[in-house]
Structure 1
Amino acid sequence: MANQLPIWIIIIISTLLSSIIGIVLYQAYIYLKKDNNNFNKTNITIVDRASSTLPYWLPLLEGLQNFGQQILPDYPFSLMSIYKKTLMPIVIFYVTHPALAFAVFFILYYLFVRAKSPIPDRPFIRFNVLQSILLFLINSLLGATFRALPIEFRMSLYGFMLCNTLFWFVLSTITYAVAKSIEGKYAKIPVISQAVRIQIDNRL
């Protein structure tokens, strides 16, 4: 029966499902929307690249709080051990200080998103800050929606698979965005990146 499947099989299935969905969405985005990036790519400094990775801590911690805390204990012990020694103390601090996320959100908005920002205009940094904020809001919405589901469903096999899929969606999008930031390139997350570009174009 389905409820008797080993946990590692469930993890593999839901991870593969997440990967397939991500690949399909990305290929569809590339096919339907060719890159029409009008940003200046020749003036992206090392400081821009490093600074652009920092805002992604916000959606990462939100995703770990909403989904990682529920599924990581069921992962192999070695992975859980690494998580406990690295990210778990930060996540615990994040969870015990809920006002911190909103404070960081409004600081980022004030410094980078407003039309009259006190920070010199750096399109690459602004793009990644806006994208991280949007990912944070999406993670918050997904987390609130998942918690609103009946507890019987959340504790079931299907609830676990849904939670695992959402976790890998969050982790893969953030990892991809950070990798592109380090490369000095603009990420192309379907729908999300396009929405950010439209927002930036409206402020130019």
Structure 2
Amino acid sequence: MYQIYLYTVKPKNNYNKRSITPIDRLGSILPYWLPLLEGLQNFGQQILPDYPFSFMNVYKKTIMPMVLFYVTHPALAFVIFFVLYYLFVRAKSPIPNRPFIRFNVLQSILLFLINSLLGAVFRALPIEFRMSLYGFTICNTLFWFVLLTILYSIKKSIEGKYANIPVISQAVRIQIDNRL
């Protein structure tokens, strides 16, 4: 049992405190569900019915129940947002300092805020524009931006590397440097 603990929690090299453990990798993937569900709520519900049946079948069986739960409980997003902020982002966090998890949590929070803002702006557009070809094109572009950005971040987290999203990652690094 002690060997499992050493492998998952302790860094492989005791001299390198910045090693990324499998627990760090898992902990850095989980917060990305928040912006993913927000993006699927804002953009996916409008364009996913137009995708091929096999894609929709997989979506309905796997992620759609979570999206429906997320949509029916709108306060849940803000509760999760504040819990993540309290546990990982604050300077006096109750969780020990884990820079990799902190970076990814802060990045997922920024992606969530950007998704929320883009979704609010898109919903504020006139219905005639949203239902036009241009509206569907913008919605499709925003959907794929959200999905690919999150998948890229998750892939980098699994690899144990920091994702480099041009503006967002720079803002996260500035925020983390200001907290140290």
| TM-score where L is the length of structure 1 | 0.80
Go from structure 1 to structure 2 and tell me whether the alpha carbon gap of 1:109 and 1:160 turns closer, same or farther (over 3 Å shift): same
Q: What is the alpha-carbon distance in structure 1 between the residues aligned to residue 45 and residue 17 of structure 2? A: 38
| Paired residue type of 1:125 | I
Kindly state the Cα deviation for residue 155 of structure 1 after the two structures are TM-superposed.
0.4
Q: Give the CA RMSD over aligned residues.
A: 1.0
The one-letter amino acid of 1:144's match is: A
Runs in 1 of length 4+ with deviation above 3 angstroms? none
Unmatched 5+ residue regions in structure 1?
A: 1-39
- Count of aligned positions: 165
User: Which of the numbers 22, 31, 35 marks the counterpart of 1:59?
Assistant: 35
Q: Provide the rounded CA distance (Å) in 2 between the counterparts of 1:109 and 1:119.
A: 11
3-state SS of paired residue (1:191): helix
Structure 2 partner of 1:115 = 91
SS of residue paired to 2:166: coil
- Shift in CA distance, 42/109, structure 1 to aligned 2, threshold 3 Å: closer
Deviation at 1:74, TM superposition (A): 0.5
Rounded Cα–Cα distance in structure 1 between residues aligned with 2:84 and 2:158: 20
Instruction: Give the structure 2 partner of residue 172 of structure 1.
Output: 148
Of the candidates 61, 72, 81, which is equivalent to residue 105 of structure 1? 81
Alignment of structure 1 residues 1-204 onto 2, 5 Å: 42-204=18-180
- Which segments of 5 or more consecutive residues in structure 2 lack a partner in the other structure? 1-15
**Equivalent-residue separation in structure 1 for 2:17 and 2:55 (angstroms):** 37
Contact kept, 8 Å, 1:67 with 1:167, in 2: the verdict is yes
Distance in 1 of aligned mates of 2:133 and 2:20: 46
Partner Cα distance (1:83, 1:192) in 2: 28
Q: TM-score, normalised by structure 2?
A: 0.90
Q: Whose RCO is larger (CA < 8 A, sep 6+)?
A: 1
TM-superposed CA distance for 1:43, in Å, is 1.1
